[in-house]
C-alpha cells in the first residue's frame, strides 16, 4: 500500500452523496474513482490500484455486500460499507464478509474521512510491522494440525496447503497462539488486533472468531479449538508449540 496519494473507490448510486464524498477526498489529495453501481465498481477494482473501497450496501445490480465478498475472496484491500439501515444484521453480515468498518446514513463526511484514515493507517502499519522478527525469534506456532507462520503471515494445514487469511483474521489468530489456554476477553482481543485505532462495534470480535473457526474447520456450535467462555471471552485450547 502506498504511503500517500491513496486511491479510493467510491461506489454509491445516490449522485448527491457520491459527489460530496468524491469532492471531499479529492480536496484532501486522495485519488478518487467514483461509480454509480456495483458492476462498474467491480470493473474498476479488477483493474487494480485501489487502496480502499467505500461501498454502498444497497446498489442496483451487484450490491455492496456481494462486491465486498468478491473483494475479500481475491485480496485484502480494505472495505468500508455505507448503509442506510442502522440494523445490527447489516453490520454483522458485512463483518462476516470481511468488511473493515461501516458508516450509517446519514453520516458526516468528516466521520467517513476519520474512518478511512484509521483503516488505512491500521492496514499500512500491519504491512510494515516487523512480523518476521517476533519476540524470541519465533517465526511460527504449531497447534493441532495447523501452523501459523509469522514470517510469511500465513496459515498452513498439516499437508502444507496455505489457507488465506485477511489481515484481521491473521492478527486475531496470532493473539490466540501467543496466549494459548488463556481466556481473552473481547476488549483484550480488540486491543491486541486493533490497538489504539480500535473502533469497536457490536459483536465484531464474535464475528471474526466465527470466521477464524470456519477456516480452522472448528465447529461453531461445539468448538474444540477456540472455545467460548460465556460472559468472559474466548480461549485457544490445546498444545501450542513454537517452531
Domain boundaries, the chain: 7-128, 135-242
What number of other Cβ atoms are within 10 A of residue 79's Cβ? 25
Distance CA 24, CA 19 (A): 8
Distance CA 173, CA 179 (A): 10
The three cell numbers of residue 131 are 512480523
Instruction: Please report the pLDDT score of residue 231 as a whole number.
Output: 83
Instruction: Please report the pLDDT score of residue 203 as a whole number.
Output: 63
Instruction: Please report the pLDDT score of residue 132 as a whole number.
Output: 39
Instruction: Please report the pLDDT score of residue 130 as a whole number.
Output: 43
Q: CA 17 → CA 82, 103, 106, 156, 187, distances in Å?
A: 11, 13, 9, 43, 34
Instruction: Please report the pLDDT score of residue 95 as a whole number.
Output: 75
Q: Does domain 7-128 have CATH number 3.40.1190.20?
A: no
Instruction: Please report the pLDDT score of residue 109 as a whole number.
Output: 94
β-partners of residue 75 are none
Instruction: Please report the pLDDT score of residue 189 as a whole number.
Output: 86
Distance CA 70, CA 83 (A): 18
Stretches where the chain sits below pLDDT 70 are: 1-4, 85-89, 124-138, 194-203
Q: Does domain 135-242 have CATH number 1.20.120.420?
A: no
- pTM for this model (two decimals): 0.63
Amino acid at each position: 500500500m502506498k504511503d500517500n496519494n491513496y486511491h479510493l473507490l467510491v461506489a454509491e448510486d445516490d449522485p448527491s452523496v457520491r459527489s460530496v464524498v468524491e469532492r471531499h477526498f479529492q480536496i484532501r489529495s486522495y485519488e478518487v474513482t467514483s461509480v454509480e453501481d456495483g458492476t462498474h465498481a467491480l470493473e474498476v477494482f479488477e483493474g487494480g490500484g485501489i487502496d480502499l473501497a467505500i461501498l454502498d450496501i444497497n446498489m442496483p445490480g451487484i450490491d455492496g455486500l456481494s462486491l465486498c465478498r468478491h473483494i475479500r475472496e481475491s485480496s485484502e484491500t480494505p472495505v468500508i460499507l455505507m448503509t442506510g439501515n442502522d440494523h445490527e444484521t447489516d453490520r454483522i453480515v458485512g463483518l462476516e464478509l470481511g468488511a473493515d468498518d461501516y458508516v450509517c446514513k446519514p453520516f458526516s463526511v468528516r466521520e467517513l474521512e476519520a474512518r478511512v484514515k484509521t483503516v488505512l493507517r491500521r492496514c499500512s502499519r500491519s504491512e510494515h510491522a516487523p512480523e518476521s522478527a517476533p519476540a524470541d525469534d519465533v517465526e511460527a506456532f504449531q497447534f493441532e494440525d495447523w501452523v501459523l507462520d509469522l514470517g510469511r503471515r500465513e496459515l498452513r494445514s498439516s499437508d502444507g496447503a496455505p489457507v488465506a487469511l485477511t489481515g484481521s483474521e491473521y492478527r486475531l489468530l496470532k493473539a490466540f497462539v501467543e496466549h494459548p489456554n488463556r481466556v481473552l476477553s473481547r476488549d483484550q482481543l480488540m486491543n491486541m488486533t486493533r490497538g489504539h485505532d480500535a473502533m469497536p462495534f457490536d459483536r465484531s470480535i464474535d464475528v471474526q472468531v466465527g470466521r477464524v473457526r470456519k477456516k480452522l474447520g472448528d465447529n461453531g456450535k461445539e468448538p474444540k479449538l477456540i472455545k467460548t467462555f460465556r460472559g468472559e471471552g474466548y480461549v485457544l485450547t490445546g498444545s501450542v508449540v513454537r517452531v
